[in-house]
Amino acid sequence: MTLLTDNVRKPYRYFGGEYNTADMHKPCDVRFCMCVADSYEVGMSNLGVRILYYLFNSIEGVVCERCYAPFADYAEYLRERDLPLMSLETQKPLREFDFVGFSMQYEMCYSNVFYMLELAGIPVLAEERGEEYPFVVGGGPCTVDPEPMYKYFDFFFVGEGETPWKQIIEDYRVQKKGGVSKAEFLRYVDEKYDCIYVPALHSALYDGDRVRVLPDRRVWRNIEPDMNTVFTPYTQPVPSAEIVHDRAVAELFRGCANGCRFCQAGFIYRPVRERTPDNAFELCRRLLESTGYDELSLNSLSTSDYSGLTELLERLLPYAKEHRVQLNLPSLRLDSFRGKMAQGNRKSSLTFAPEAGTQRLRDVINKNITEDNIFETLTEAFAEGYFSVKLYFMLGLPTETWEDIEGIYSLACRIRALYKKVRTSSKPLRLYVSTSTFIPKPFTPFQWCAFADREDIQAKQRYLASAFKKCGVEFGYNDYDGSLLEAVLARGGRSISDALYMAYKDGARFDAWDEYFDYAHYSKAFDKCGVDVASIVGARDRSETLAWDFIDIGVDKSYLLREYDRAMSGETTPSCNRQCNGCGLHRHGYCKSTHGNTAVGG
């Protein structure tokens, strides 16, 4: 008999058994399989999945298992033996669960949703799934525009799930015992929960790729109000082998106060909600003790903006030193990297994101950092012994000129000169510059802007690659076709839905991985389905109805328009930590800002 280990590379990805796996043997009447449409190494690093995994398993009578997208060798192993895709913990076929939930973190994973459903023997189209199949549910940040995948999910959950999901599961348990049909349960949750969207119950009308009539449903993003009382697991599964972020991860706060105009996360995760330093320290301590990790990451969208960070580090640094734990502070801003943050972080490498090469363009995107911030911060970092710096920029930003591109090169050269002047390390500076292509995503002030032309982006990439090669700076950039597809998936509506499945049938898999991505699958599908890519990624009129306008994230559209106007005028908007800028969350009762409504510009 041929063994799994003889045919499949890294078989640990598929048979579970990790330390801190939840109890799979307790009595249960509801089974949920939590899926990530990416590899084990990527999916195991997903904090949101970890939270819901332990949340569901904390409910009496509920068992939650996990499943990740298998690579081709394991998929072939399953097909050769006529086996379906199964859960990680108990090898239970996915089609035997009550719910199969996908965490939709990234648009480029859509093709893997089809891939996993087909391997599981679950019909891809929601309308073809009868009573014998589980509910297929989507959650995560991509649900702020669920329409490209509307045909394939029974329902979407929009927002943070800790509180509503417990009640949804209980509702299902009661109705399951009462013998209600799937259709009846879908109507029930669609009516009861304003954060749930059942696409089959709400039609939309399109003219080509532009929406004319939105679904007759207002969907509200669920917001958990208090990080100190929300369900929090004080442990996490310890993987069987190394994963992408192989360390303990503590979430200090949610949201971001900075208002960078290109950043979707900065708007769809508002408002800022912090843990107290005591709560955060207890979380860190218990995570380390329950997992045995010797590295801890303090995670949030902008970790150095945590108001209690100094107080937390005063307690955490001695604890880490005593227990030989390495602290990792990701998501640092150049204007808030100071003192104990430098002491707590790795001495080998720092990562910052100036995003733009000139102050003018940084003002347009509301980055709210200056060149003084950049050089003061790096002076301090180099004095602390850092010798490796990664800088992230974007190409194709609104109003960008060649002067802004030249500014990226100039900034890197001046950083090299600064290191030679103030270095304390004997090691040579390792400077890495990376550029991505700006994508105008929903629910940002730039959602009306166009995605950049291929020739424009590639010319700028060639210029920077040539310039940096001459001076020994490492340079990397994103493939244009991958960014183009991400823009289509992020901005599209129901009109692209058929093309996505057609591209999968043509061979699209693991599109987030450079070695597997091939835009030709999508190009052919878009042509066959009459999808006008240029229309989808082009500029939008401010009065136009957008495919995602029926989703309400709590931030007013009028505020996004006001921020767009300020961007075009080169005006910045202060951080929410300094004043309330009137985004709408305060009016809706979600934001507990103590600054009052002193909105800039109105």
HEC assignment per residue over 482-540: HHHHHHHHHHCCHHHHHHHHHHHHHCCCCCCCCCCCCCHHHHHHHHHHCCCHHHHHCCC
In this prediction, residues 328-335 reach a mean pLDDT of 66
Give start-end residues of each CATH 3.40.50.280 domain in the chain. 4-215
In this prediction, residues 346-364 reach a mean pLDDT of 86
| pLDDT level of residue 200 (50, 70, 90 thresholds) | very high
Give start-end residues of each CATH 3.30.750.210 domain in the chain. 247-346
CATH homologous superfamily, domain 4-215 = Cobalamin-binding domain (3.40.50.280)
Percent with pLDDT over 70 in the chain: 94
Element (H, E) at 14: helix 12-15
**CA angle centred on 161, ends 33 and 158, rounded to 5°:** 100
The model's pTM is 0.94
Least Cα distance to 491 among 527, 544, 529, 455 occurs for: 544
Fold type of domain 247-346: Transcription Regulator spoIIAA (3.30.750)
In this prediction, residues 313-324 reach a mean pLDDT of 95
In this prediction, residues 294-303 reach a mean pLDDT of 91
In this prediction, residues 96-115 reach a mean pLDDT of 97
HEC assignment per residue over 545-596: CCCCCCEECCCCHHHHHHHHHHHHCCCCCCCCCCCECCCCHHHHCCCCCCCC
HEC assignment per residue over 24-56: CCCCEEEEEEEEECCCHHHHCCCHHHHHHHHHH
Q: Mind listing the pLDDT tens digit for each residue in 467-491?
A: 999 888 999 999 999 999 999 999 9
| pLDDT level of residue 306 (50, 70, 90 thresholds) | very high
In this prediction, residues 183-187 reach a mean pLDDT of 98
pLDDT number for residue 573: 97
pLDDT number for residue 602: 35
| pLDDT level of residue 601 (50, 70, 90 thresholds) | very low
pLDDT number for residue 152: 98
In this prediction, residues 417-432 reach a mean pLDDT of 90
* Mean pLDDT across the chain: 93
Q: Mind listing the pLDDT tens digit for each residue in 128-180?
A: 999 999 999 999 999 999 999 999 999 999 999 999 999 999 999 999 999 99
